[in-house]
């Protein structure tokens, strides 16, 4: 007998399946670095819908591009050549640099990682991966195979691909690892869900060299670190290390669902039509949003701005109630120790949204790259006013 048959025949459920615990208010509108509830109350958004609202909420240029495209063609699959899809691919490849020559468009970060891992299996003929402790790459089966989340993996263990997990940013462990027979190593340049954990340039250089010697593909999962968030187009350029593939999603189309697998010419030349596919990947609306997003990032100098704001935040919080500021650009972790949960609740009460992480001591800042200086000052002042004992 299946376990589910022990449950009531018709238990009460909501029409919308519960997945996350939502905010205690509905979000009905967004503008710049704020979202609004049904009563018109504004909340400063330092969470960005989980690192998605890169150009802010409803940026006029992005919204206009989406509306214009919707008036011409909402959808057609890859069965047709679309000028806007070709334009988007060219724009993203040029934006990425880092030896990237071609892109496969899909719909999400997990789909991008799944596709990159499939490419590695197909091209190498090998059947195992290397990932890192603390990694989160998604919930589809190959992506879950390289995700260090026992609670998510348990029900599917028999279906997951073989993967070895190494300590992140540990040069001794990396040196001792055996990459022979490994199809790909996949790594988040900054481990966001794990609590904004970073690595040194020397570690990335050693990882690249080891993969090259072993004939192992190196995949940078840049679902959160990409599209200008670190103050560079991608972390690959920020750290000066060139992977074979870069996966991206989140902020690439300013909130329109989109993912992508960027790859160098050596990888792309080995793939043929039919090896990858996606009905909705590279749809006209998403492509128009991507082109507009990259244009906004360039024209408003948002990458340069991200680095400046990050240094300001570090300087203002140094020696205060936050023990440590981790990360780069506008992907930052605030190590607030045992008072982190109370601080997050206090910020929400003051109508400021921030993210948590798998590390209970670390809160995450992933605001729009367009976040206003005055909003940053409100955040920093509010953290300074926080009293853990009073909040308790």
3-state secondary structure 14-74: CCCCCCCCCCCCCCCEEEECEEECCCCCEEEECCHHHHCCCCCECCHHHHHHHHHHHCCCC
CATH code: domain of residue 16: 3.90.1150.10
Q: How many CB atoms lie within 10 A of CB 87?
A: 14
User: Does residue 197 share a domain with residue 71?
Assistant: yes
Residue after which a domain boundary falls, among 250, 276, 299: 299
Are 176 and 318 part of one and the same domain? no
Residue 268, pLDDT > 90, answer: yes
Q: What is the CATH number of the domain that holds 204?
A: 3.40.640.10
One domain, residues 150 and 11: no
Q: Does 84 score more than 70 pLDDT?
A: yes
pLDDT at residue 7, rounded to an integer: 61
pLDDT, tens digit (0-9, with 9 covering 90-100), for 111-166: 999 999 999 999 999 999 999 999 999 999 999 999 999 999 999 999 999 999 99
Burial code of 175-192, b = ≥16 C-beta within 10 A, e = fewer? eebebeebbbbbbbbbbb
CA proximity to 175, closest of 145, 214, 138, 149: 214
Q: Which residues of 215-226 are buried (b: 16+ CB within 10 A; e: fewer)?
A: ebbbbbbbbbbb
Question: Taking all residues of the chain, what is their mean pLDDT, rounded to a whole number?
Answer: 96
Considering the domain architecture, whether residues 143 and 273 belong to the same structural domain is answered as: yes
Nearest C-alpha neighbor of 195 from the set 337, 44, 52: 337
pLDDT at site 118: 98
Phi, psi torsion values for 311, nearest 5 degrees: -65, -35
Same domain? For 118 and 41 the reply is no
Tell whether 187 and 114 lie within a shared domain.
Answer: yes
**Considering its fold, how many domains does the chain have in total?**
2
- Domain edge (last residue) among 299, 317, 348: 299
Contacts of 309 (CB under 8 A, 6+ apart): 330, 371, 373, 376
Domain residues for 163?
Answer: 60-299
pLDDT, tens digit, for every residue of 303-338? 999 999 999 999 999 888 899 999 999 999 999 999
Give residue 260's pLDDT.
Answer: 98
List the one residue out of 137, 140, 141, 130 whose CA is nearest residue 168. Answer: 130
With cut-offs at 50, 70 and 90, classify the pLDDT of residue 31.
very high
Among 273, 299, 325, the domain boundary falls at 299
The reply to whether 124 and 212 lie within a common domain is yes
| 18 and 129, same domain (yes or no) | no
Q: Provide the sign of the torsion angle of the four alpha carbons 138, 54, 88, 297, taken in this order.
A: negative
**114-147-216-110 Cα dihedral, nearest 10 degrees:** 20
Instruction: Classify the phi-psi angles of 55: left when phi > 0, otherwise alpha if psi is within -120 to 50, otherwise beta.
Output: alpha
- Residue 2: pLDDT band (50, 70, 90) is low
Do residues 226 and 373 both lie within one domain? no
DSSP 197: B
Residues 310 and 205 in one domain: no
* Residues 295 and 305 both lie in one domain: no
What pTM was estimated for this model as a whole? 0.96
Cα–Cα distance, 378 to 349 (Å, whole number): 13
Does residue 8 share a domain with residue 156? no
């Amino acid at each position: 007998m299946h376990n589910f048959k022990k449950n009531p025949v018709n238990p009460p459920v909501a029409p919308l399946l519960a997945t996350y615990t939502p905010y205690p208010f509905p979000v009905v509108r967004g503008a710049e670095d704020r979202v609004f509830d049904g009563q018109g109350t504004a909340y400063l958004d330092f969470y960005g819908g989980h690192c998605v609202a890169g150009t802010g909420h409803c940026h006029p240029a992005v919204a206009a591009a989406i509306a214009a495209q919707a008036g011409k063609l909402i959808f057609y699959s890859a069965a047709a050549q679309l000028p806007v899809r070709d334009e988007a691919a060219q724009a993203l490849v040029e934006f990425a640099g880092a030896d990237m020559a071609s892109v496969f468009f899909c719909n999400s970060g997990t789909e991008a990682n799944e596709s990159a891992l499939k490419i590695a299996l197909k091209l190498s003929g090998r059947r195992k991966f290397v990932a890192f402790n603390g990694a989160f790459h998604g919930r589809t089966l190959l992506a879950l195979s390289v995700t260090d989340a026992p609670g998510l993996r348990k029900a599917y263990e028999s279906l997951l691909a073989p993967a070895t997990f190494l300590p992140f940013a540990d040069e001794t462990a990396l040196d001792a690892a055996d990459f022979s027979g490994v199809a790909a190593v996949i790594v988040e340049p900054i481990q966001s869900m794990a609590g904004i954990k970073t690595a040194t340039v020397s570690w990335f250089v050693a990882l690249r060299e080891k993969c090259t010697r072993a004939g192992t593909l190196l995949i940078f999962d840049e679902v959160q670190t990409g599209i200008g968030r670190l103050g560079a187009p991608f972390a690959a350029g920020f750290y000066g290390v060139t992977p074979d593939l870069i996966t991206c999603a989140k902020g690439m189309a300013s909130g329109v669902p989109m993912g992508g697998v960027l790859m160098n010419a050596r990888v792309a030349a080995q793939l043929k039509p039919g090896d990858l596919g996606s009905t909705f990947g590279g749809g006209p609306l998403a492509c128009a949003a991507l082109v507009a997003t990259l244009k906004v990032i360039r024209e408003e100098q948002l990458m340069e701005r991200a680095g400046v704001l990050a240094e300001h935040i570090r300087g203002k919080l140094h020696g205060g109630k936050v023990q440590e500021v981790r990360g780069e650009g506008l992907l930052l972790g605030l190590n607030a120790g045992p008072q982190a949960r109370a601080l997050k609740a206090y910020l929400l009460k003051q109508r400021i949204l921030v993210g948590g992480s798998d590390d209970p001591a670390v809160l995450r800042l992933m605001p729009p790259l367009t976040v206003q200086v005055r909003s940053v000052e409100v955040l920093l002042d509010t953290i300074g006013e926080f009293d853990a004992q009073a909040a308790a």
